[in-house]
Structure 1
Amino acid sequence: MNERYSRQILFPGIGKEGQEKISGKHVLIIGAGALGAGNAEVLVRSGIGKVTIIDRDYVEESNLQRQQLYTEEDVAEKLPKAVAAKKHLAMINSAVKVQAHIGDATPEVLEDLTRGVDLIMDATDNFETRMVINDVSQKLQIPWIYGACVGSFGMSFTIVPGKTPCLNCLLRTIPLQGLTCDTGGIISPAVQMVIAHQTAEALKILAEDWDTLRKTFVSFDLWRNQYTSLKMSKAINKDCLSCGSNPTYPYLEHENRTKTAVLCGRDTVQIRPSASGEISLEQLARQLSSLGYKTKGNPYLLSVELEGRERIVIFKDGRALIHGTKDLTRAKTVYQKILG
């Protein structure tokens, strides 16, 4: 072990004792896209004991621009990302145990996968799953590292139950990004920057160097040369339903999840968002049109043409009809790609 990880052991923040701790730890990575692939590779190269990866998608050609683990062969074989990630990670470090789960990161699935892990890495692409991660983290008292990027913009925050504000607390303070890679595009350096922030924090936690954890919420825009670091200690909310004095973990409750239903006699799925709120259809239409989507709307709804036969009709309350499919998972993926 000493030779393989010798440069890491030489680093004072880790050393031999820290490396031994890292080798006994288990990390759950939720999402195997750009952030997930990068986080997994860094941790596997660092000698983590076990990595569990969950993802519902498969490798497509557009992924290759930034998702560093995957190859053209994976695209040709249409391999699920979790399976492709496991295959490549095994070739990088065969001593690390890698588990792959193909499927949706539902509250039930995440609660089951999270038991016994030391750290959760956020590499998902949608707000709803992050809120589920947040509640699972608080309920089971497991730290997690938030990360997100789109365009040239990225952000990250380390959440330690009982020590820092949770994501639900942060929503009262920081407006989180609503664009996705499918609507705002992305450049690879932004991905790498978020991965660097996430994995640096991960190594601190895995080596149990808690005093050096970053206590700020960081965000940056590489294209505009901007970097911000905000202290978040005052964001802790004692009445927070996720981490407060009387938590109820609202995002684990069935009634607060996105509702999906296949419409009878139609090749259409209806989706209702988990949280209530009003969407600016005019602003959304301008944004999507600028990205090349064909849109048509009125004061009540917006219709967006997608690939093939698919079309999404969005209403002001966030409800949407995804035409051209009866697959609930596919419909949910389309919804989150367009609306974040």
Structure 2
Amino acid sequence: MVNDRYSRQVLFRPIGKQGQEKIQQKHVLILGCGALGTANAEALVRAGVGKLTIIDRDYVESSNLQRQQLFSEYDANERMPKAIAAQNRLREINSDVEVEAHVFDASANALSPLLHNVDLVIDATDNFDIRFVMNDLFQKHHIPWIYGSCVGSTGMSYTILPEQTPCLYCLLNAVPVSGATCDSVGIISPAVQMVVAHQTVEAMKLLVEDDAALRSKLVTFDLWNNYYQTIHVERAKKENCPSCGMEPSFPYLDYENQTKTEVLCGRETVQIRAGGVFDLDGLAKRFVNIGDMKSNPFLLSLEYQNYRLVFFRDGRTLIHGTNSIEKAKKIYYQLIG
């Protein structure tokens, strides 16, 4: 039911009362709860989306606070999982919206059970390994999704509609993408907000089912150098694309093509994914004489030599203080075996 809370949004003719009612019936999934994820989540919750599912594998650190809204110094001090901290804040913003949070590393197997009745997915991830998995998974399930990325003062966004537009695999074979990361060149918050503006407005068009208003071009910009461009990419769509072509094979849904060990964007950190789950209480007993520990119901943080290791219940470990996968594995095996 539409109330005064959304009155200014309802006055906007392309949305109106009917559009607002549609928004309140829709389910959006946001993959990643960093800069792009938190800003998109807040905008959609304030707009009155019916249900929001947020997924993130990481926890809040002080360096996040410069650009990742929804988080506070308390969240950073307590090393709260980003998805949980965001969920807590979003529920305070709009208690009428159902907000579901998951703390795990996204994979095809982990995501698939959550896609039931999802109307739209917003990309707020920080690496192309999971984006290619997303691309195949959402093509297979016919779910539209909105790609977004930013680094430095630059960013880009594109709306991907299964069976209609080029998919991400098609796109990256046609449009060059910078290899820069937040860790190497930094990032400013206005670049984040610009990408979010493009993602959120496209999301609202899809939620009110105004497909005619959707942007068909890829947007790219550099705020610092006053550059803005929209690029026609329709011809990038390929009939033999393994993800969206006439006979798709969805190669990135194969376990062999998914990363198990990776260097994370934004800081000197390596993630290692193990089979099974961690007994955090058991690890705490094992590490009692190893180094300083801090824990909450979701993770255990251990200071070891010049590194910090964070163990999550879902079997993941973040090794902070190195970009070397080999070194990270050595430290990991020293402690875990």
TM-score (norm 2): 0.80
**1:183 positional shift:** 2.0
Tell me, in whole angstroms, the C-alpha distance in 2 between the residues paired with 1:219 and 1:307: 37
Equivalent residues in 2 for 1:1-340 (5 A)? 1-260=2-261, 310-313=321-324, 322=328, 325-326=331-332
- Counterpart-to-counterpart distance in 2, 1:311 and 1:46: 41
Deviation of the 1:45 alpha carbon:
0.2
- Name which of structure 1's ranges 179-188 and 146-155 shifts more when overlaid on structure 2: 179-188
Q: Give me the whole-angstrom Cα distance separating, in 2, the residues matched to 1:198 and 1:325.
A: 39
Judging changes above 3 Å, is the alpha-carbon distance between structure 1 residues 324 and 63 closer, same or farther for their aligned structure 2 residues?
A: farther
Q: Which amino acid aligns with 2:189?
A: S
Query: SS of the counterpart of 2:224?
Result: coil
Q: Is the 8 A contact 1:310 1:324 kept in 2?
A: no
- SS of the residue aligned with 2:4? coil
Q: 2: distance between equivalents of 1:37 and 1:85?
A: 7
Q: How many residues align?
A: 282
How many Å separate the matches in 2 of 1:207 and 1:321? 50
User: 1:109 Cα deviation (Å)?
Assistant: 1.0
Q: Deviations over 1:162-213 (max 9, x none)?
A: 1100000011101223222122210000000000000000000000000100
Pairwise CA distance, 1:325: 3.5
* C-alpha distance in structure 1 between counterparts of 2:101 and 2:149, whole Å: 22
What residue identity is the alignment partner of 1:17? Q
**Cα deviations by residue, 1:283-340 (Å, 9 ceiling, x for unpaired):** xxxxxxxxxxxxxxxxxxxxxxx966843347xxxxx65356428xxxxxxxxxxxxx
Partners in 1 of 2:259 and 2:93 — Cα distance? 38
> How many angstroms apart in 1 are the aligned matches of 2:324 and 2:85?
33
Contact 1:37 1:68 in 2 (8 A): yes
CA distance in 1, matches of 2:203, 2:140: 20
Q: Tell me how far apart the structure 1 counterparts of residues 261 and 140 of structure 2 sit (CA, whole Å).
A: 26
Structure 1, gaps ≥5 residues long: 262-268, 272-305, 315-319, 328-340
- Match of 2:19, SS state, is helix
Q: Distance in 1 between matches of 2:322 and 2:89?
A: 35
Distance 2:260 2:87 in 1: 31
1:50: Cα distance to partner? 0.2
The one-character-per-residue Cα deviations of 1:92-127 (angstroms, maximum 9, x if unpaired) are 000000000001001111122122200000000011
Contact 1:216–1:232 (Cα < 8 Å) also in 2: yes
Unaligned residue ranges in structure 2 (runs of 5+)? 263-269, 273-305, 309-319
CA distance in 2, matches of 1:260, 1:191: 27
- Partner residue of 1:295? none
Q: Percent identity?
A: 58
The alpha carbon displacement at 1:232 in A equals 0.9
Letter in 2 for 1:232: V
RMSD value over aligned CA atoms?
2.0
